Amino acid sequence: MQVGNLRLFCDVVATKNFTRAAEWNDRTQPHASNVLRLLEKTFGTRLVERHVRCFRLTPPGEILHLNFLEILRLHDEMERRIETVRAAAAGIIELAACYSIGLHQLPPCLKRFQRAFPRANVRVRYHLIDHAHDAVLDRAVNLGLVCYPRRRRGLVIDPFRHERLLMVCHPDHALAAYPTVTLSGLMGQRFCLLQLNRWSLSLSDA
């Protein structure tokens, strides 16, 4: 059922005149009459009593009219809220992202966001994790996306995505025989870790 037909029916009730209601909706008088017939056929009952200089809703017509008014109110409110959100997203949104999120996880999310809000201009700055925190605290960006958020005064942390931590080892390594490994099971092992402050690989004890 089209929203336009609901609105046309309510305008017919408001004006008690098919021609005037049709003009309000950029339609013709025959179209307005056809909408009423379609509604009566759909609900299987007479909705309007029409006589010379008399226009009156039947009891089913009154029920339909009240519900149509509520549907139209909700529809119009929904459109206003959507437009408000679209207008709010029409400016520039500054993001600070660590390299792993910014280069791998963020792009598909941005594509979905920009399809929904085509007027938004999203700018992404790539930072090391600590620098991304500083950018948010300094209000240089609107939002920061990092792998390991630091709890710092003035920051609110919201989870972006939960992922499993995977361990990579040689097939001959003792831990390769286990389907899963606990953190306590890693104690004393030596691993290659990425030192973000130097951008180099080094060996480290877990």
Structure-model confidence comparison of residues 196 and 111, the more confident one: 111
Domains by residue range for the chain, with CATH: 3-87 (1.10.10.10), 89-145 (3.40.190.10), 174-205 (no CATH)
CA neighbor of 16 nearest in space, from 36, 45, 2, 46: 36
What string of DSSP letters covers the chain?
--HHHHHHHHHHHHHT-HHHHHHHTT--HHHHHHHHHHHHHHHTS--EEEETTEEEE-HHHHHHHHHHHHHHHHHHHHHHHHHHHHHHTTSEEEEEEEHHIIIIIHHHHHHHHHHH-TT-EEEEEEE-HHHHHHHHHTTSSSEEE-SS----TT----------------TTSGGGG-S---SGGGTT-EEEEEETTTTEEEEEE-
| Most distant CA pair in the chain, distance | 96
pTM: 0.45
pLDDT at 200: 41
Average pLDDT over every residue of 185-205:
59
Q: Are strands 121-127 and 143-145 parallel, antiparallel or unpaired?
A: unpaired
CB-based contacts of 136, cutoff 8 Å, min separation 6: 96, 143, 144, 155
Question: Has residue 75 got a pLDDT over 90?
Answer: yes
As a whole number, mean pLDDT of residues 191-205 equals 50
For residue 181, the model assigns a pLDDT of 85
Name the pLDDT band for 198 (thresholds 50, 70, 90).
Answer: very low
